[in-house]
Amino acid sequence: MTTEHVETVIIGAGQAGLSTGYHLRRRGRPFLIIDASDHIGDHWRNQWDTLRLYTPTKYDSLPGLRFPGGPWTFPGKDDVAAYLNSYAETFELPVRMRTRVERLSASDDGYVLDCGDRRITAENVVVATGTFGRTPKLPDFAVDLDPSIRQLHSSEYRRPAQLRPGPVLVVGASHSGTDIAYEVAASHPTILCGRDCGQLPVRPESPGFRVVFPVMVFVAKHVLTRRTPIGRKVMAEIRFHGGPMIRVKRQDLRDRGVTRVPDRVVGVRDGLPLLADGTVADVTNVVWCTGFRQVFDWIDLPVFGDDGWPKEMRGVVADAPGLYFCGLSFQYGFGSMVLPGVGYDAEFLARTISARRAEAASQPAAA
């Protein structure tokens, strides 16, 4: 097994990891970004075909590089992937792909990352593996559905052609669920179930959005934060229940013939989904838009709460000096989980890491 040492290792080459690397480079600090995927941007490429950002190009730039395109256009998933790749190339960020961390543990002078046949030691580690995690959150009873029912999690859904003929049950009515339900309803009878998460008052493509959105960005960055009561309330809602409908509205679903059921799926009866009101959904497809779970079982450190989320503030783990997280939902505020806000969090972490290094350098050497 080969071993190398790097001052700071960033796990994840998405927008959070790349932004952190950019800010560390500006401060002259050495680092390495590693990622298990084959290519930068693969997480975005693997989303459903018609996915577009909910934020306009004008607000999608990471620090130092403008996102290409008209200021009030909405990039698609492949546009974001291409931009992230260009970002890494433009700033010559040291990125090593196809490198999966199997175990992260503490050592006497920092951390050890076991990556198959390679071991990396580091003084600092930034975990930038995703906003809500990458592990699909599915109910235990999903395995009890009739095998003839086609089941897809939103992370597996790409296009309606994946579905079997017949009715579709979309579970989860946050923005991804409503987008997918609206799309599949053009070719399949569709039921959308789950609590109403609300909706934005304007459409992203409407003229009024250009007036409302700058205000929304300000609120997301400076009002809905973990330092305000309303921010902490919204944090609990977003982390565990999802965000409001954005592009698709309630009227759009009605116009396309989507049957809207506010009840949850609570089990299985005769191989079919059972809703909380006792209704059995006679469907041939189920799309689970139920979000993701934070699974950090590869991190061998006691830094997680009962809810599975790391015990951090602004990405800094007080109980494990040198360990950081970036890109988490509500790492600082609502803006942390979207492109307009991730650079702000990354800069704070890079500044914190640099200050820690400077403090260590100022300490007298041990006799």
CA distances (Å), origin 296, targets 102, 310, 343: 10, 9, 23
* pLDDT tens track for 199-253: 888 888 888 899 988 998 889 888 999 999 999 988 888 887 777 888 899 999 9
Encoding tokens for residue 350? 């890079």
Give the model's pLDDT for residue 217. Answer: 87
pTM, full prediction? 0.92
Give the model's pLDDT for residue 367. Answer: 45
Domains by residue range for the chain, with CATH = 2-133+294-362 (3.50.50.60), 136-199+244-288 (3.50.50.60)
Give the model's pLDDT for residue 41. Answer: 96
pLDDT band, residue 11 (cuts 50/70/90): very high
CA distances (Å), origin 333, targets 114, 128, 311, 314, 328: 32, 16, 15, 9, 10
pLDDT band, residue 349 (cuts 50/70/90): very high
Q: Are the beta carbons of 314 and 331 closer than 8 angstroms?
A: yes
Q: CA Rg, the chain, in Å?
A: 22
Mean pLDDT of the chain: 93
* pLDDT tens track for 278-303: 999 999 999 999 988 888 999 999 99
Task: Kindly state the average pLDDT of the residues 187-196.
Answer: 96
Encoding tokens for residue 40? 């930068």
